[in-house]
Structure 1
């Protein structure tokens, strides 16, 4: 097992570093302290996720590739959180709604430390997010951990605690492609229900059973079967951009290409899928096009209204999100 890092730039008076974790099977993972970002997952030298051309590109233009996106990853209707008689207002940065935490945690520089043993190589990343930042109450401390072992398990854990009542629903925003494109991949999801969305991308009909719909991935099928369909929800979002409610069976998701497989387990109640619908080979992501990858964002599903009890944290209540990706 090996751990190392290199400084590649500076931003706002802080060092930007690329961290490497490597196991004895030759699998290598690269992580940036900018946004606690999963930059590369290399299996036999082939990248299993969508990555920009260079580490320097990640801080040039917001792109969400592999980032730890918070404090809330998904959308919040009207940017509002109603608690009792009080309404908190978040930045409305997606039309009239709030998305991706405003200037979120994926755009901040995290501190880090490395640890290596015979069993695993790991990096711990830390961020202090002050009270009032992006309109969120509470001083919050975040701790993200990436660990790689010799069975090609890459685990991700995010812990957080706030000193005030607040809302929190982050997600790791990695786009998986297993060396191919999302259209070539087979996806299996342990989900009997999904959430249809409106034109703004927010749920508006409650849960819908996946049976007899293009959203039924329970037995596993090509992602292209959904993308090529004439389903109104697919047409509305130009692809998959939908939360799936997990039924508790593990693994939560299995993604397969012709050569590789990724098995995902998580303690999250839902997975939000997004098939890179907006990418078009422009900007810093000029090497990425539409449907080149798919996100499997482990989080709470976005709420229809503004009473966000499901993602409300009490003062000093510990948040813990766990994900494990096994690559073969």
Structure 2
């Protein structure tokens, strides 16, 4: 297995690198220390490589405008209603960056920072590790939070993402990776992609896409216990816009996406919940991501703290109690 690293720019005086991992099956993974980002995944198809996640044209485009493509998003990926975190009788006001809400950690999240990096080559797996200290007060959050993200690619075409974080003060934290899968290539949509999800319960959405508890999937468009084509389901939800919903996962169970090409990815995660989002906004995006269309990709956001309205106890990170998440994507091609 091989690891190569290329410097391509700077951000606030910090160097930016693209790191490439290649296994013995020909699977190629590109990472950026900008945002601890999963930039590209390419798999063999005959005598060529094909992209199976959404990406921008070149690494330097990622810092041009926030796009969330494969980034490590936080401090919290969920929405904070009214951009206010209530702690007993006290309240902490965060910057609003989606109407009245705070989303994806605020306007300058973890996915927009230059992370430190190290890598280790091995005979059967390669690992790249990124670290970042997010200082107290950044985006309005208390606590100095040290976050470590690692990506490990093995010879079984498994890519494992591990995230740990610890804080020196009570704070909010619920970070995850935000990769968009496009198994039939970025020029297609996910309409022909099937999703199978080990989940009996989903989260209905109230106003402003905020979750409002849990409901059984049985008898609803959200029943993915058997594989269903996304193109059959997306017109039935959110006024035809597509999916943007949380699901509770059964313990040690998985989500599987299968493209019309037969290429597939199975996600297993230590997280108890996943948000399925079908890229409903891409036709409204300009600039470096303007080539993407609505439903160009689908993201499976593994979340340690399931989105559940305003129950902030689940996403409160305490000193001495580290946050831990591990997600593995098994690719089939």
When the two structures are superposed, what TM-score results if normalisation uses the length of structure 1? 0.95
SS at match of 2:60: helix
- Please give the alpha-carbon distance, in whole angstroms, between the structure 1 residues aligned to 2:39 and 2:60: 11
- Please give the alpha-carbon distance, in whole angstroms, between the structure 2 residues aligned to 1:4 and 1:80: 43
- Please give the alpha-carbon distance, in whole angstroms, between the structure 1 residues aligned to 2:71 and 2:16: 14
Q: Aligned to 1:75, which of 61, 72, 79?
A: 79
Q: Which consecutive segments of 4 or more residues in structure 1 shift more than 3 A?
A: none
Would you say the 8 A contact 1:121–1:149 is kept in 2?
A: yes
- Please give the alpha-carbon distance, in whole angstroms, between the structure 2 residues aligned to 1:283 and 1:211: 41
Structure 1 equivalent of residue 154 of structure 2: 149
- Please give the alpha-carbon distance, in whole angstroms, between the structure 1 residues aligned to 2:130 and 2:161: 11
Q: CA deviation at 1:288?
A: 0.7
Structure 2 equivalent of residue 122 of structure 1: 127
- Please give the alpha-carbon distance, in whole angstroms, between the structure 1 residues aligned to 2:290 and 2:319: 43
Moved more, 29-38 or 313-322: 313-322
- Please give the alpha-carbon distance, in whole angstroms, between the structure 2 residues aligned to 1:248 and 1:28: 30
- Please give the alpha-carbon distance, in whole angstroms, between the structure 2 residues aligned to 1:131 and 1:119: 39
Q: Aligned to 1:321, which of 318, 322, 325?
A: 325
1:28 has 2:39 as partner: no
Cα displacement string for residues 200-242 of structure 1 (whole angstroms, at most 9, x for unaligned residues): 01012x111111111111111111111133xxx4317x11011
1:277 has 2:283 as partner: no
1:62 has 2:69 as partner: no
Give runs of aligned pairs for residues 46-195 of structure 1, distance below 5 A. Answer: 46-102=50-106, 103-180=108-185, 181-195=189-203
SS at match of 1:146: strand
Cα displacement string for residues 259-291 of structure 1 (whole angstroms, at most 9, x for unaligned residues): 211111001111001111010163211221000
Would you say the 8 A contact 1:76–1:303 is kept in 2?
A: no
- Please give the alpha-carbon distance, in whole angstroms, between the structure 2 residues aligned to 1:284 and 1:316: 40
When the two structures are superposed, what TM-score results if normalisation uses the length of structure 2? 0.94
Q: CA deviation at 1:9?
A: 1.2
- Please give the alpha-carbon distance, in whole angstroms, between the structure 1 residues aligned to 2:239 and 2:200: 21
Q: CA deviation at 1:301?
A: 2.6
Q: Aligned to 1:222, which of 217, 225, 229?
A: 229
- Please give the alpha-carbon distance, in whole angstroms, between the structure 2 residues aligned to 1:117 and 1:197: 45
Would you say the 8 A contact 1:20–1:31 is kept in 2?
A: yes
SS at match of 2:233: helix
Q: CA deviation at 1:88?
A: 1.5
| RMSD across aligned positions (CA) | 1.2
- Please give the alpha-carbon distance, in whole angstroms, between the structure 2 residues aligned to 1:139 and 1:208: 37
Would you say the 8 A contact 1:49–1:179 is kept in 2?
A: no
1:256 has 2:258 as partner: yes
1:247 has 2:255 as partner: no
Structure 2 equivalent of residue 198 of structure 1: 206
Structure 2 equivalent of residue 43 of structure 1: 43
Structure 1 stretches lacking a partner, 5+ long: none
- Please give the alpha-carbon distance, in whole angstroms, between the structure 1 residues aligned to 2:184 and 2:295: 13
- Please give the alpha-carbon distance, in whole angstroms, between the structure 1 residues aligned to 2:184 and 2:130: 27
Q: CA deviation at 1:91?
A: 1.1
Would you say the 8 A contact 2:252–2:270 is kept in 1?
A: no
